[in-house]
Chain A
């Protein structure tokens, strides 16, 4: 165990004395950019370039070196490592934030200590390595003092996850808070904060009394409630049809649940425009046959509600199917043997058991609708919702980051509030009635009335959804939908043309650049997301430590933070030293990792709770360490969860739009942002062609990953469920 902390200490020295401390790049040409190589390290730079504040970083490194190298000091080692790591981290952070590009970042420090000779840029590779070194020295000190059962790996992993969440979730959100209180000259005032948050155009209720638009908050909440109700009812109908009826094409319904994962969120909007827009098929037909005048009714609340309901019903279906399946048939059989009729059974047993799940589905759809960005952007018309308003506050003519931040805070509070309610509800009122034991019994048939209602709701809606997807796939091949329906490959050629030039193959289509960047970013972020997520899941399920509940809540929190808020917060936080990332590909990757991590965590937690804890304990008593246990026992058993998180994070990285639309740069353009740009230009053909190409690509990727990682081989199922049933006493 000792060698490992020695290695981290050595890397700390390398980061401090050998590697360039600051990130290269164009941010500080005026600041005598540090020389490359060892000359740009904190040690050399601090000695020769007047950045004296870098030199104290050597102190904790020296302390750690002393206790590691001198046997006399060994007994004190854990405490000393802990102190060294903590001091090192604190110093690196404080000097980084206190001293910006032009010297003191906090004015009062300047008046206290006088001006500095020069400022500094963002952390570079050396700084990152040194920070990691301090972090692991600190956690290994903690472990040495007997925390986490003395397991250095666990302590280090917890430290790493916490530090990462602090840096890439809480720091940016903190910036949003302070950004909303920005007084304009770099200061912060609560008055400004309150003024921005309480702005009348956000909260006014004038639509109730006069013919004016209501505040943007009410729009968002109203839309979210409607969407929540609609998707929950539809999801419930789908789930009942899929689980409790003899419906033949259940597989087709299951396909529905995959669609939202592989579809960029705004694609539904495009399809709806193809049907109901001014040149939409339905619109034209109605006007031709019945003389109904062509109007823009779809742009606004009806359109956004329709598309969100289409987009989120599958999610609600997924939740509800778990709920309906979770009701043990034996309970209903018991009720029937007690002389309850089918209808009475449904009303007194089935429905009460489903109710918490229904509430859960509603809240999830509510949050999704609030956070949705693509659909309101494309179909919103005059309907202003929080997520689009934030976007226009940043990119629009007003360019008011303070206002964007204030709107972000409101959106964040709404989502976190709903998230909190959902957690409370689920925590207290979840009845999982299917035990591990073979729970025999056949689900009882639905009462006739409910069955008919479920069919009548679900089937037309499913048909509608499939028609829309058909339109998307087909629409890319028409010249100009609605006006000129002749078939053409023009849009696909514009996007994905290839030609032979003097230098060989030329990727001459306009979409290639963004597609390659997208795939690169997705491919880089997927394994990272899976790794961080599963590591966190391992800590949550397998390790007992103080504050585990809080730790879990923190990790799930980033799930409830809407993409637009993440986007605006990343811009505010990472646009300046010490962490300067805007315009790089790194910021996209980091954004995806922390956006998608919660799903990876959930997949890992679900899978890991299925694996009996005594398996790891057994491995430990047989002499394997934590790392070996993870590698040889847990990972092989976790394959399905690994596949799930890889697929999910890859596909989400490709289809998401809300956060990254703030973060893309001309150099690193992503497919979704590019498509939205085309839509805004009115270039529907190319947007639709590109979207369908993405959908097809995603389906292939999912199939491939599924195939490559394969099934887990455990043998007969019966015996596994037997091993999984055991619980520690």
Chain B
């Protein structure tokens, strides 16, 4: 006996969930391929947790259809779905030992006691907690409790494994390790996983695909790379990776790139597919470099290479510098790896743009 995967895909077709008149999830459709890890990412209150709970069967869709493994499960309660979930609070039953917790799902579905215990031990082994079975959850550390919750969800060999902000109760160091472990386990067992988080870095790190949600609808979905490099709208550009948002004008396009004018400067960005005219430029903080302000005739020349700025704030962070800049296009936030020759606060400087890390989105 071993823990296998029965991974199945998930599909939402025009799913809406209303509380009285307020829609928590509004006409959402997406498909999750079997064996992939997909993250639902968004600020709190965007509907991501409601979406997750609808997959679990803990919330019922007001309208629309939910399919798991091609079967319509819209009206099926949680008990009857082959979906398990790792809760934010871990939800370990405090009155049962770790082994009983892990075996719980097997026991209630009628597996013989001895088989259930054997499989539970195997599940604990899998998450690196062999030998902890007889402890109470309260006798484990936060990270260990998290692993128990994962083991408990795994031993049922679910079609879909759900994670509801699983790392939010761990400290920063442990969080990084746990997210790598979860990803590794998911890939090793080929699980279909849906993962909810509001931490964009976590989402980028673990996901095959990310569904960014905002205000009850999907803002954009795609691979981490697509979302970071070609955000479709202001919200995604800002939410993933952070960006300086300044006004520009799209003046031309050729072969997949577009030309955007920023004052006297022209920049090329991936073609956003927008009509020519006013656009918003999303400039990543690390796409800007600082250079001491040129003087005299060089200053004229420089105007076609960058924009003149005043450094309001310079912060030394060891591996890089962080600058707050004032410019004619508004305030800019810059992360510059050049720590050996920092520009001091109060100085004038020239901000230039690297080729990558700039995207145009609609205003």
Contacts and interface: CB of A to CB of B under 8 A. Distances in A.
Interface of A: 146, 149-151, 612, 614-615, 617-626, 628, 632-633, 636-637, 712-716, 718-720, 723, 726, 728-729
Contacts of A719: 94, 137-139
When A and B form their complex, which 10 residue pairs have the shortest distance between CB atoms, in order from nearest? A719-B138, A726-B89, A622-B105, A715-B138, A618-B91, A715-B136, A624-B108, A614-B91, A620-B78, A714-B94
Interface string B87-125: 111111111000000001100110000000000000000
Contacts of B90: 723
A637 B95 contact: yes
Nearest to B78: A620
14 contacts: A617-B58, A620-B78, A621-B56, A621-B57, A621-B58, A621-B84, A621-B162, A622-B104, A623-B156, A719-B137, A719-B139, A720-B138, A723-B91, A728-B88
Given A150-B77, A716-B138, A723-B90, A618 B85 contact: yes
**Band of interface residues on B:** 35 or more
Interface string B126-155: 000000000011110000000000001100
Interface string B19-49: 0000000000000000000000000100001
Contact of B104 (A614, A619, A626): A619
Contacts of A619: 93, 104, 108
B87 A618 contact: yes
Contact of A620 (B49, B77, B137): B77
B350 interface: no
A622 B94 contact: no
B44 A729 contact: yes
Contact of A150 (B49, B60, B83, B162): B60
Given A622-B105, A637-B94, A726 B84 contact: no
Contacts of A620: 57-58, 77-79
A68 to B, nearest CB: 20
Given A618-B85, A621-B83, 4 more contacts: A150-B60, A618-B87, A618-B93, A637-B93
A618 B53 CA distance: 11
Contacts of A713: 95
A149 B104 contact: no
Contacts of A151: 77
B312 to A, nearest CB: 35
Nearest to B104: A622
Contacts of B49: 728-729
Nearest to B136: A715
Contact of A632 (B60, B108, B169): B108
A678 B165 CA distance: 67
B109 A623 contact: yes
B41 to A, nearest CB: 14
Nearest to B48: A729
Contacts of A633: 93
B91 A146 contact: no
B363 interface: no
B108 A714 contact: no
B91 A624 contact: no
A726 B90 CA distance: 9
The winner among B136, B165, B169 for most chain A CB atoms within 10 A is B136
Given A150-B60, A622-B108, A723 B78 contact: no
Contact of A614 (B78, B84, B87, B105): B87
A619 B156 CA distance: 12
B75 interface: yes
A620 B152 CA distance: 13
Given A628-B108, A632-B108, A637-B95, A614 B89 contact: yes
A636 B96 CA distance: 10
Nearest to A716: B138
A477 to B, nearest CB: 48
Interface string B294-327: 0000000000000000000000000000000000
A377 B138 CA distance: 54
A588 B154 CA distance: 52
Given A716-B138, A719-B139, A723-B90, A623 B77 contact: no
Contacts of B81: 621
Contacts of A637: 93-95
A5 to B, nearest CB: 16
A615 B109 CA distance: 17
A713 B95 CA distance: 6
Contacts of B94: 637, 714-715, 719-720, 723
Contact of B136 (A149, A622, A636, A714): A714
B104 A624 contact: yes
B95 A636 contact: yes
A622 B107 CA distance: 10
A237 B81 CA distance: 57
Interface string B61-91: 0000000000000010111010111011111
A151 B44 CA distance: 29
Contacts of B139: 715-716, 719
Nearest to A143: B77
A343 B253 CA distance: 75
Given A614-B91, A617-B78, A618-B91, A729 B85 contact: no
Nearest to B165: A729
Given A713-B95, A714-B136, A719-B139, A729 B88 contact: yes
B174 to A, nearest CB: 15
Contacts of A623: 79, 105, 108-109, 156
A617 B87 contact: yes
A615 B164 CA distance: 14
The winner among B44, B49, B90 for most chain A CB atoms within 10 A is B90
A622 B84 contact: yes
Contacts of B83: 621
Contacts of A625: 79
Contacts of B79: 620, 623-626
Contacts of B85: 617-618, 621
A615 B93 contact: yes
The winner among A151, A713, A728 for most chain B CB atoms within 10 A is A728
Contacts of B165: 729
The winner among B56, B83, B108, B136 for most chain A CB atoms within 10 A is B108
Interface string B331-353: 00000000000000000000000
A101 B318 CA distance: 95
A712 B169 CA distance: 26
A530 B275 CA distance: 70
Contacts of A618: 85, 87, 91, 93
B60 A146 contact: yes
B205 to A, nearest CB: 21
Interface string B160-198: 001011000100000000000000000000000000000
A718 B108 contact: no
Contacts of A728: 49, 88
A716 B139 CA distance: 7
A718 B87 contact: no
Nearest to B139: A715
Contacts of B57: 620-621
Interface in B264-294: none
A670 B82 CA distance: 55
Given A614-B89, A715-B136, A716-B138, A146 B75 contact: yes
Nearest to A617: B58
Contacts of B44: 729
A623 B75 CA distance: 16
A632 B106 CA distance: 13
The winner among B79, B83, B94, B136 for most chain A CB atoms within 10 A is B94
A156 to B, nearest CB: 15
Contact of B91 (A149, A617, A628, A632): A617
A621 B105 CA distance: 8
Contacts of B75: 146, 150
Contacts of B136: 714-716
A621 B89 CA distance: 15
Given A617-B78, A623-B109, A723 B89 contact: yes
